[in-house]
Amino acid sequence: MAEFKILILGAAGYIGGTVLTNLLTNHKPSTISVLIRKPEQRQLFESLGVDIHEGDVSDVPMLKALAQEHDIVLNFAVAFGSDEASVQALVDGLEERAGKTGTKPVLVHTGGSGSVMYGSGGEAGTDVWTDEQYDRWSSLPDSAYFYGGYKIVMAAALRGTISAYILISPTVYGPGTGPGNKHSLQLPAYVRYAKEHGQAAYIGKGENIWGNVHVEDLSQLTILVAAHGVTHPDQTAPSASSKGWENLIYTGTGQHTWGPVIKTLGDLLYARGDTSKPSAVEIGEGEGIMYMFGGNSFLTPSAKAKALGFKPSQPDIISAMKLALPRK
């Protein structure tokens, strides 16, 4: 990637930190800025040569002002707060930058496939989504996870003043490489439950299906999308018929059924002496802890990602677990 001013929201987190590492190691843009929430996080970034801004993503004037100063905004923070005013602030700031500079800034907004999760009790799902079902995406209920922010970003994409994209991710796995959090949400939740209860567990039948993507592959795709936006601004406007949703890209590269994955996890934890029993047992919906799901959430891997040159290279989810949990 050429030299641009890049702002990362969520750089102390799992995905944002891995993207930051990738940029610093492989792309060396002229300026990277990060937004941190807590003063004690400053020490994580002081040796990295990045500009550090302190504040909360609910601070709308601050977000807008930051966006105005950057060519690319990579948002790994606001989506999960479901704060529509904050998403709008990023869009407004970038659109004002476009008006002042005559260039087309880029927004890459993070979402999750939980937006289309369905079913419960570990029952297998048969309804397959794709990221090209534009009428279906535009008709999701407002109650769908993260959807308010999605609509704001897609409306901006349709206006065409900025290059605006949404990356929809399923289960993200693998070790993060950023200066802060290096762990995902879902698999660590299953590990915590297993250690607390002496054996791993999954919800219901454990036949429910989720997509997955390694965090390093997700990092690669994020940078590919941002690079496409700044190097081919004339190719980033979605078709009117898609209502903007042409700029939504699914990041998943594989699929898993939770039961077999958690049984393998249980065996790995038992071999390490972290639990008293191997394999895993069934528990009811809601009996586990947060991020243990009994529903289905998966899409067909994206042709749009492939067209950008996305070539996943990381180990699958079970291989990655075996690497992360060797015998003691």
Mean pLDDT of the 128-142 span: 96
What pLDDT is attached to residue 122?
98
Mean pLDDT of the 11-38 span: 93
Distance CA 193, CA 178 (A): 25
What pLDDT is attached to residue 83?
83
Contact 177/41 with Cβ under 8 angstroms?
no
What pLDDT is attached to residue 79?
55
Percentage, residues of the chain above pLDDT 70: 98
Percentage, residues of the chain above pLDDT 90: 91
By C-alpha distance, which of 227, 203, 176, 224 is closest to 295? 203
Distance CA 171, CA 261 (A): 12
Q: 89-125 pLDDT, tens per residue?
A: 999 999 999 999 999 999 999 999 999 999 999 999 9
Side-chain-side CA neighbours of residue 16 (13 Å): 28
By C-alpha distance, which of 35, 113, 39 is closest to 73? 35
CA distances from 202 to 120, 123, 188, 232, 317 (A): 12, 12, 13, 45, 16
DSSP states along 168-194: EE-EEES---SSS----SHHHHHHHHH
Contact 249/218 with Cβ under 8 angstroms?
no
**Mean pLDDT of all residues belonging to the chain:** 95
Among 76-85, 127-136, 152-161, 197-206, whose mean pLDDT is lowest?
76-85
Residue 81 has pLDDT above 60, yes or no: no
What pLDDT is attached to residue 30?
75
- Give the H/E segment covering residue 112: strand 106-112
The domain locations on the chain are 5-174+213-252+296-310
Amino acid 279 reads S
Mean pLDDT of the 253-282 span: 98
What pLDDT is attached to residue 170?
97
Burial label for 66, CB within 10 Å (0-12, 13-18, 19+), is buried
Among 12-21, 64-73, 140-149, whose mean pLDDT is lowest?
140-149
Helix pair 84-101, 147-159: axis angle to 10 deg? 20
Q: What DSSP designation does 117 have?
A: -
Q: 219-245 pLDDT, tens per residue?
A: 999 999 999 999 999 999 999 999 999
Q: What DSSP designation does 237 have?
A: P
Distance CA 61, CA 323 (A): 44
What pLDDT is attached to residue 251?
98
Fold of the domain spanning 5-174+213-252+296-310: Rossmann fold (3.40.50)
Q: 177-211 pLDDT, tens per residue?
A: 999 999 999 999 999 999 999 999 999 999 999 99
Q: Is the dihedral of CA 227, 228, 234, 236 positive or negative?
A: negative
What pLDDT is attached to residue 182?
96
Mean pLDDT of the 76-80 span: 71
Distance CA 174, CA 211 (A): 14
What pLDDT is attached to residue 29?
74
Based on DSSP, count helices (H) and strands (E) in the chain, helices before strands.
11, 12
Confidence (pTM): 0.96
Amino acid 131 reads D
